[in-house]
Homo-oligomer: A and B are copies of this chain.
């Protein structure tokens, strides 16, 4: 299994990362690419920028654990997870998950699973710059509930 996990300040090229997983292979039937992007609006208030803080070391380890879980749950031929940190403005890429499998369900579910865990378990924190000042984003109970559905 081809697994790439990277934390970086720089932007990523979703297309190039996704192409890397499938290039030259004829056994992959389904490729899912999820890109999370910085939005200019969160629950009705404007967002001028966002700074992502992370716990170096633990972030990589935690993502690696969940990538291994995903590999154990679904027959994957490749997984790429890239998470950025630092300051981003609306329209900037934040996170990339790419999954490759013979079949579409495995690719969709593994990508969904990894995103649910990045949201709730990977040690990252978002500081938003709003019109009324800086604000640490609250965790969403909807994200916790989404992650709960994999606990079977």
Cα distance A19–B18 when bound, in Å?
13
Cα distance A28–B92 when bound, in Å?
10
Whether A32 lies near B31 (C-beta < 8 A) is no
Instruction: Scan A69-87; emit 1 where CB is below 8 A from any B CB, else 0.
Output: 0000000000000000000
The residue of chain B having its C-beta at the shortest distance from the C-beta of A26 within the complex is: B90
A51 at interface (Cβ–Cβ under 8 A)? no
Partner of A29, one of B15, B30, B37: B37
A62 at interface (Cβ–Cβ under 8 A)? no
Whether B111 lies near A108 (C-beta < 8 A) is yes
Instruction: Scan A10-42; emit 1 where CB is below 8 A from any B CB, else 0.
Output: 000011101100101111111111111111110
